[in-house]
Amino acid sequence: MPSHAQLLLLDRDAVEPALQAEQVLAAVREAFVLHSQRAGRVFPVVREKLATGGVFGIKSGDVASQDLLGFKAAGFWPGNRQLGGEPHQATVALFDPHTGRPLCLLDGNAITTARTGAAGGIGLQQLARPESTRICVFGTGVQARVQLTYALRILPRRCTVQYVSTRGQAVPEFEAAFRDICAIRLAHDRNEAVASSDVVITATPGGGPLFDASAVRPGTHLTCVGADTAGKRELPEGVLQRARIYVDDTQQARSIGECQWAPGLPCTEIGDVLGGTTPVARAASDITVFDMTGLALQDLTVARFLYRHALDTGAGTRVAWPW
């Protein structure tokens, strides 16, 4: 009854343990296919700079056939580092599409991290050469870690990893997180690291080109994470023009992703690949780019399985939320 309605709250401690890789991968794959089939809608993205120095955005959407409706409010506040906090902040909300009532509020940081890592892994699985074993990672933060985690999980052979840190210095805790599953070391020359790698992952704040275009060799796959706002980029001029480009959403990629710097180039949505509409016929010499800007549907499909899991297990906090 309306007077007994409740709102379920799932904080970080409830969300993180439930984010099992296989379930996240399945949910993100479903989101891509739903988007490709236009069975799931993605509403226009809000992405605005704030007077406080932060960036605030809203990604929302629905899947009418599944009664799935919601949004993620998220952004980047660089000043949080000085407070000992995470600069990326996000909250996900699910709603009953029949009444508009909120069903669940979830910690969006953990969801964003996991679903973006899974998306990068899915793109790598579809687009990188199967024999790839050499990885170069730009960044050592939360997103760099999750991208590398999924890459090492998906690539079939043991890998060697070079990483480029912000200050050009070794990051022992980053190395320690992966030392047992790969050979990892600091890259002393970023162009040489790119040139000697099969897979390049860029997971930085997107402040500008990270390497020279000439460093990208034929056969390289690039997973691009950091360009998610107008004006951001990680790739140098000339790389997209040489590559076969794949995106999560064409319009988003051309407005806030790497493709904003070359919006006239053709690109393919990854959901079309996963759904079988556009098969990948990758030549060994092809350069492939997966330009990821993040879909609301990814957040919603992951949030849905977390919500159902919490209902089944009794996890989370229930708050009276009468009509």
pLDDT at 273: 97
Residues near 166 by beta carbon (within 8 Å), at least 6 away in sequence? 139, 140, 204
pLDDT at 303: 98
pLDDT at 40: 93
Which range, of 82-86, 141-145, 240-244, 264-268, averages the lowest pLDDT? 82-86
Which range, of 33-37, 43-47, 57-61, 263-267, averages the lowest pLDDT? 43-47
Structural class in CATH, domain 126-294: alpha beta
Q: For residue 229, name the pLDDT band (cuts at 50, 70, 90).
A: confident
Mean pLDDT of 153-167: 95
pLDDT at 290: 98
* pLDDT tens per residue, range 173-218: 999 999 999 999 999 999 999 999 999 999 999 999 999 999 999 9
Q: For residue 2, name the pLDDT band (cuts at 50, 70, 90).
A: confident
**How far apart, in whole angstroms, are the C-alpha atoms of residue 255 and residue 262?**
10
pLDDT at 281: 85
User: Regarding the domain delimited by 2-111+297-320, which CATH topology (the fold level of the hierarchy) does it fall under?
Assistant: ornithine cyclodeaminase, domain 1 (3.30.1780)
For 184, the enclosing helix (H) or strand (E) is strand 183-186
Residues near 221 by beta carbon (within 8 Å), at least 6 away in sequence? 124, 127, 128, 129, 132, 198, 199, 200, 287, 288, 289, 290
pLDDT at 197: 98
Q: Could you tell me the pTM of the whole model?
A: 0.93
Closest CA to 286 of 233, 227, 216: 216
**How far apart, in whole angstroms, are the C-alpha atoms of residue 29 and residue 45?**
21
**How far apart, in whole angstroms, are the C-alpha atoms of residue 63 and residue 2?**
24
Q: Where are the domains of the chain?
A: 2-111+297-320, 126-294
Q: What does pLDDT average to over the chain?
A: 96
